[in-house]
Structure 1
Amino acid sequence: MEDVVLVDDEGNRIGTADKATVHHRETPLHLAFSAYVFNARGEFLITRRAATKKTWPHAWTNSCCGHPLPNEGLPDAVVRRLQDELGLASTAVDLVLPTFRYRAEMPNGVVENEICPVFRVRADDMPRPEPTEVSDTLWLPWDTFVSGVLSGELTISPWCYEQVVALSELSDDPRDWDVASTSELPPAARA
């Protein structure tokens, strides 16, 4: 069993729930994260969600998403999930969108409802995807990825689309994204 942290609209922790039971038509607001992995060449790692995922199976998305365990810091959760999902060791984990929040509904009514801070990560290993999490990976130049997303040529998960729009407002070059202060995180994510 893996618990997720439930939060109120201000990002305060109000409890926990079993991750296996939290995503449905009435998904409560909970804490998550998204990671955007770049290698030494500046390429971005896009991943395709496994067919067995409850939300957005088969969808192309950002490098890694996940939920921190209760009492686990978000950077630690990012490192853990990158290792679990992709077999990647990160060399840098930088907070770039501390207050990102979204709600998205699948055609079958299943909802994602998350406060989901976004991280830029540096990792130079070749990914070794865990097949129950990730079915495919691809390294792309960031500008090629952004152009494909914004033009509609590349269909991705709804949270990734919203994040790409927000990240594009920071700078065209991910190396220029300012690192945000952890004091900007929602209260439940500051522990």
Structure 2
Amino acid sequence: MSEQRVTTDELIVLLDAEGRAAGTAPKAPSHHESTPLHLAFSCYLTDDAGRVLITQRAHGKASFPSVWTNSCCGHPAPGESLREAVSRRVATELGLRAEALTLVLPEFRYRATAASGLVENELCPVVRAAAAGELRPHPEEVATAEWRDWDACVKLADHPSASPWFRSQMEWLAPLGAPATWPAAPPELLPPAITW
């Protein structure tokens, strides 16, 4: 697989309060102290042993640098399905293929403020996928990536180095047990701005 290029001119999908598309905007300038509600996703990649890929965000990231979090996060492009967005970002950030995608938390939403004052404000469906291929983290996106068993993932949620969205998602995911047991959620529960 050829190395994926990290683009700096991505567009994000802006949302109204009901999760309907309300326009687009450039990603980087839209994240500030008053970031508008927009569409995102979080992905948890698993391996054949049932472990989860946990990543540390690159130290130079504008948004929440150096925090430990789930495998991959991103923003669906305008007109892109959730599965397409997950596959694209997993390849770009980690050099992996995302297979057997399962929608887990279609309605997850959070708002968090970084130490810099930058705000994340996202409707952020959560997806589980099986990882395939060779792990090759992109240095502009990922500082470190580690396969961890589920108990270690649950413990990470209590650590101050964990991202705020990871901690919030784990309030929902930890009671479901190991990722292999997570039930599939109906795509109809996704925000209207995105298709499965």
Could you tell me the TM-score, scaled by structure 2's length? 0.92
* 1:186 corresponds to 2:191: yes
Q: Quote how far apart the aligned CAs of 1:144 are.
A: 1.8
Q: Quote how far apart the aligned CAs of 1:125 are.
A: 3.0
Runs of 4+ in 1 over 4 A off after TM superposition: none
Q: For residues 39-72 of structure 1, give each alpha carbon's deviation from its aligned partner in whole angstroms, at most 9, with x where no partner exists.
A: 0000110001011211110111100000000000
CA separation in 1, counterparts of 2:40 and 2:11?
Answer: 12
> Between Structure 1 and Structure 2, how many residues are aligned?
188
Percent of aligned pairs with the same amino acid: 48
CA separation in 2, counterparts of 1:168 and 1:71?
Answer: 32
CA separation in 2, counterparts of 1:90 and 1:174?
Answer: 15
Question: Where does residue 165 of structure 2 map in the other structure?
Answer: 159
| Correspondent of 2:182 among 167, 173, 177 | 177
CA separation in 2, counterparts of 1:45 and 1:165?
Answer: 18
Could you tell me the TM-score, scaled by structure 1's length? 0.95
Quick check: 2:156–2:162 contact (8 Å CA) kept in 1? no
Quick check: 2:44–2:128 contact (8 Å CA) kept in 1? yes
Q: Quote how far apart the aligned CAs of 1:90 are.
A: 1.7
| Correspondent of 1:15 among 20, 23, 30 | 23
Question: Where does residue 3 of structure 2 map in the other structure?
Answer: none
Q: List gaps (5 residues or longer) in structure 2.
A: 1-8
* 1:137-156 map, 5 Å: 137-150=145-158, 152=159, 155-156=161-162
Q: For residues 126-149 of structure 1, give each alpha carbon's deviation from its aligned partner in whole angstroms, at most 9, with x where no partner exists.
A: 410000000101000012210232
Quick check: 1:143–1:172 contact (8 Å CA) kept in 2? no
| Correspondent of 2:105 among 97, 101, 118 | 97
Q: Quote how far apart the aligned CAs of 1:158 are.
A: 0.2
Question: Where does residue 125 of structure 2 map in the other structure?
Answer: 117
Which secondary structure state, in structure 2, belongs to the residue aligned with residue 79 of structure 1?
A: helix
Which secondary structure state, in structure 1, belongs to the residue aligned with residue 183 of structure 2?
A: coil
Q: List gaps (5 residues or longer) in structure 1.
A: none
Question: Where does residue 5 of structure 2 map in the other structure?
Answer: none
